[in-house]
A and B are shown apart, each in its own frame.
Chain A
Amino acid sequence: DSGVTQTPKHLITATGQRVTLRCSPRSGDLSVYWYQQSLDQGLQFLIQYYNGEERAKGNILERFSAQQFPDLHSELNLSSLELGDSALYFCASSAGLRNEKLFFGSGTQLSVL
């Protein structure tokens, strides 16, 4: 167990809907990263937060947003869902700001029907 907790483990929803994925980092870690994993694209970096502030942005769609709260947990919000958003969404945390050893959660499997 890496100490990173993601909920829910599975999520099934319909196109056009909005969902929220939650991540609790390891105790003491200040950075939270979100990745999307699909069969054809591999692990795609979405966004990073460090101590509540957005630090890096990857290929995150405008329909997606994230935030990190004062208790350091993070939420990834996905709206106007499309079939192509079906993927495994990983959260990872690290102690520092950059290129540190990442600890991954077990992921949230999102299925958009």
Chain B
Amino acid sequence: AQRVTQPEKLLSVFKGAPVELKCNYSYSGSPELFWYVQYSRQRLQLLLRHISRESIKGFTADLNKGETSFHLKKPFAQEEDSAMYYCALGGSQGNLIFGKGTKLSVKP
């Protein structure tokens, strides 16, 4: 089965603290993984994808095939990082399968 699990519905941290949003996936082939973000009153948008191995807004994510994980990390959270974060898996049909999302709240 193709599935994405984000175990935390809500993650609350203080400004300047490290943040890690967890994502685990189930997929039999070679996975393509993405993180999407939705800021308040904005559209859902791509944050980063594993094939690019890039850092966007200080966020990074490493694919761990052994643990079937693609956790999103940032060493020092900022208030503007508060948003809804979705992990997504490229499905075998070509569509994206999304997790249920984690709401990140960064307190001042």
Name A's B-contacting residues (CB within 8 A).
2, 4, 33, 35, 41-43, 45, 48, 55-58, 90, 92, 97-99, 101-106
User: Which of B12-20, B58-66, B75-83, B85-93 contacts the other chain?
Assistant: B85-93
Determine the residue in chain A with the shortest Cβ distance to B46.
Answer: A101
Interface size class of B (residues with CB under 8 A): 10 to 19
Please tell me if B25 contacts chain A, counting CB pairs below 8 Å: no
Q: Is the CB of B98 within 8 A of A42?
A: yes
Q: Is the CB of A56 within 8 A of B91?
A: yes
Give the distance in Å from the alpha carbon of A2 to the alpha carbon of B94 in the complex: 21
Q: Is the CB of B94 within 8 A of A99?
A: yes
Query: B96 is contacted by which of A55, A57, A99 (Cβ under 8 Å)?
Result: A99
Q: Is the CB of B46 within 8 A of A102?
A: yes
Give the distance in Å from the alpha carbon of A41 to the alpha carbon of B94 in the complex: 21
Determine the residue in chain A with the shortest Cβ distance to B6.
Answer: A42
Please tell me if B49 contacts chain A, counting CB pairs below 8 Å: yes
Q: Is the CB of A48 within 8 A of B49?
A: no
Q: Is the CB of A56 within 8 A of B45?
A: no
Determine the residue in chain A with the shortest Cβ distance to B51.
Answer: A99
